[in-house]
Structure 1
Amino acid sequence: MTDNLSLVQKRRQHLQSAVGELGALVIEALNRSVDCIKRQDLELAERIVAEDAAINRHRRMLEQDCLVTLAAYKPAGEDLRAVGACMELVSELERIGDYAADVARIILKNGKTPLPPEPVAAIVQLASDAIGMLAGTLSAFTSNENEAAIREAVSMEEQVDREEDAFIEQMLSRMRSDASFATTGTYLLWIVHNYERVADRATNVAERAIYVASGYTPDLD
């Protein structure tokens, strides 16, 4: 019985570590997408879109690994919750990776049309906050942190929402006063919404991490 428990725990640690590795790939893609916006680097945008396929493949392999663990090792209690959470989180992370690719596609669609520096700076700030939330929640999950630490990791969720609301109002105001800004403004609104969704999904990660640690799922959104 002791040996079986040890094997289950090793499998759980392996899966949580693998989720962390997938998360690192996603965070790298997000950071590169921010760099892409700042520099309007079309070549980098193309690479981000192309490399999204690797994140998708990683997700599928991890899902299979989780299923094998459930079938072969029959985890229970906190270990079962952790393996189930890993299955859900790989899906969340794959979708978050899509946001980085979506931002890159918008940059490609915009082409060489200059993006105004002030909205870009606001997007970079919001993106940094959202990516920080995701990194914090993933670290808490892979390190089996307690509920207080997990909640702290997503404490900026309301701040990100406020930043998006203010950004939307600024863009709409400028679009109303300057019709020629409509296309660029629309692209910027699409971009900022992708990063706000990163923050939303970071709270989903936090909810699953708290479920593993405590056995209940809070509503953090």
Structure 2
Amino acid sequence: MLTPALYQPEPPERDEETKMTENLVQKRRTQLQAAVNSMGSMVIAALRQSVTCLAGHDLALAARIIEDDARINQQRRLLEQECLVTLAAYKPAGADLRAVGACMELVSELERIGDYAADVARIMFKHGETPFPPESVASIIAVADVAIEMLAEALAAFTSNSDEQTARASVASEEQVDRDEDSIIEQVFERMRADSGFAATGTYLLWIVHNYERVADRATNIAERTVYVACGQTPDLD
């Protein structure tokens, strides 16, 4: 006979209802993360269209980007509702609760990132038919490409089992984006100081590059939420 000090009672078996609920919660979490990924694909497509729009000064494409932004906004509202229903109906806990909460935050982040693409398109209309200086456009597109890649990788980390290391690596270029934006700002200011007639064009260029820099910032927010889902702690990756 075992002494009380050595006796370790067998853990109670989970009943079938508990197991079924846990399976439903995990399935629902997977569905929500897939839906966030789908919305992210819409946003990334809009951003890439905005780059194409900027490169070719394509005002027809700019109009389509602005029109399609309404679809992204609608998707945000739908997914927020799905997250709330999941929280109320399934009462997730632990990593599942963190994941559902992160989904709610991410759809808000993604909707705002979609706005950046639409904002670039609106700036194109403000500037009119005259193309922007090609050297400035090339520099801004380089920033945009890095920011969009950061976003794509951060989203992939979130939807692939909330992988912490991949999330951290996805936003390693954030500081480089900041430095490149600063360099473009200085170049634009230098030209504005030399040519007062460049003031309006220069202002539009500053707005555009800042929109793409903000994409990188929000990609970093997504990576931070991914780390939080994985380990319960929120790092400062900025």
Structure 2 residue 163 is the aligned partner of structure 1 residue 163? no
Partner residue of 1:8 out of 14, 20, 25: 25
Structure 2 segments unaligned to the other structure (5+ residues): 1-17
SS at match of 2:92: coil
Describe the superposition over 1:25-61 as per-residue Cα deviations: whole angstroms up to 9, x where unpaired: 0000000000000000001101111110000000000
Summarize deviations over 1:163-209 as a string: whole Å, max 9, x none: 00000000000100011111111110000000000000000000100
1:23 match: 40
- Deviating runs (4+, > 3 A) in structure 1? none
Q: Distance in 1 between matches of 2:163 and 2:58?
A: 40
Question: Which structure is higher in helix share?
Answer: 1
Q: Tell me the matched-pair count.
A: 221
Q: 2:160 aligns with which of 143, 149, 170?
A: 143
CA distance in 1, matches of 2:186, 2:234: 34
Distance 2:175 2:75 in 1: 31
Cα deviation digits, residues 68-94 of structure 1 (max 9, x gap):
000001100000000000000000000
Q: TM-score normalised to the size of structure 1? A: 0.99
Counterpart amino acid of residue 182 in structure 1: A
- Candidates 95, 106, 111, aligned match of 2:123: 106
Alignment partner, residue 37 of structure 1: 54
Residue 114 of structure 1 and its aligned partner are, at CA, apart by: 2.2
Where does structure 1 lack aligned partners over 5 or more consecutive residues? none
1: CA distance, partners of 2:194 / 2:32: 52
In structure 1, what is the Cα distance between the partners aligned to 2:131 and 2:108? 35
Provide the aligned C-alpha RMSD in A. Answer: 0.6
Q: Retained in 1: the 8 A contact 2:154–2:171?
A: yes
Q: Which has the larger radius of gyration?
A: 2
- Please list the CA deviations of residues 135-167 of structure 1 after superposition, one character each: whole Å capped at 9, or x if unmatched: 000000000243221110000000000000000
What is the distance in 2 between the residues matched to 1:114 and 1:63? 39
- TM-score when normalising by structure 2: 0.92
